[in-house]
């Protein structure tokens, strides 16, 4: 009887340790790897029907907005730590700040803030699929509108 009690205690202790170790490893792994954030900047307009060949990969996504022309302006990537803040320069004296908050169910929570000079334009919190993207658009630029493709990828 004593043998069984000892066995029960040992089994429970062993499994508790395994559970704690697994949770610790998962948490440590999640927190140690930065998030790869990429901002693609595109100019959408209606002056002509030009479609930049460099945007071929996201043509279907862009065509959702029904502009006639799309021109690739720039792309910038940064590795941003969890809880950190990546700042990206956007044409027109604007800047975009992206702060990864957490990952849950393979979805990354991002706090995104677009400013023009010191003035905030938009603050939003989104959850995007890991390696997925969303589009933030509308700020006027060179007679058209800026379209920002914001994507994030975590290990």
**Footprint on this chain of other proteins (rule: CB under 8 A):** 3-4, 7-8, 11-12, 14-15, 18-19, 22, 26, 29-30, 44-47, 60-61, 64-67, 92, 105-107, 109, 116-117, 119-132, 134-145
CB of 84 to other proteins, least distance (A): 19
76 or 102: whose CB is closer to other proteins?
102
Reported as half-sphere exposure (CB side, CA atoms, 13 A), residue 50 has a value of 11
Nearest distance from C-beta of residue 73 to other proteins, angstroms: 14
DSSP type of residue 34: P
Measured from the CB atom, the residue of 61 and 95 that comes closer to other proteins is 61
Dihedral class, residue 121 (left if φ above 0, else alpha if ψ from -120 to 50, else beta) = alpha
CB of 4 to other proteins, least distance (A): 5
φ/ψ of 30, rounded to 5, equals -65, -40
Contact at 8 Å (CB) between 45 and 60? Answer: no
How far apart are alpha carbons 145 and 130 in whole angstroms? 27
CB of 72 to other proteins, least distance (A): 17
């Amino acid at each position: 009887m004593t043998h069984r009690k000892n066995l029960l205690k040992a089994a429970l202790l062993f499994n508790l340790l395994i559970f704690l170790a697994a949770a610790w490893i998962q948490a440590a792994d999640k927190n140690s790897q930065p998030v790869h954030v990429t901002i693609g900047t595109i100019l959408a307009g209606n002056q002509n029907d030009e479609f930049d060949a460099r945007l071929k990969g996201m043509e279907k996504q862009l065509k959702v907005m029904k502009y006639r022309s799309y021109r690739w302006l720039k792309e910038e990537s940064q590795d941003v730590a969890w809880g950190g803040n990546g700042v990206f320069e956007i044409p027109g004296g604007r800047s975009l700040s992206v702060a990864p908050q957490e990952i849950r169910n393979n979805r990354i929570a991002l706090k995104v803030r677009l400013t023009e000079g010191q003035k905030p334009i938009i603050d939003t919190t989104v959850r995007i699929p890991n390696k997925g993207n969303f589009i933030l658009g509308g700020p006027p630029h060179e007679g058209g509108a800026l379209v920002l493709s914001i994507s994030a990828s975590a290990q």
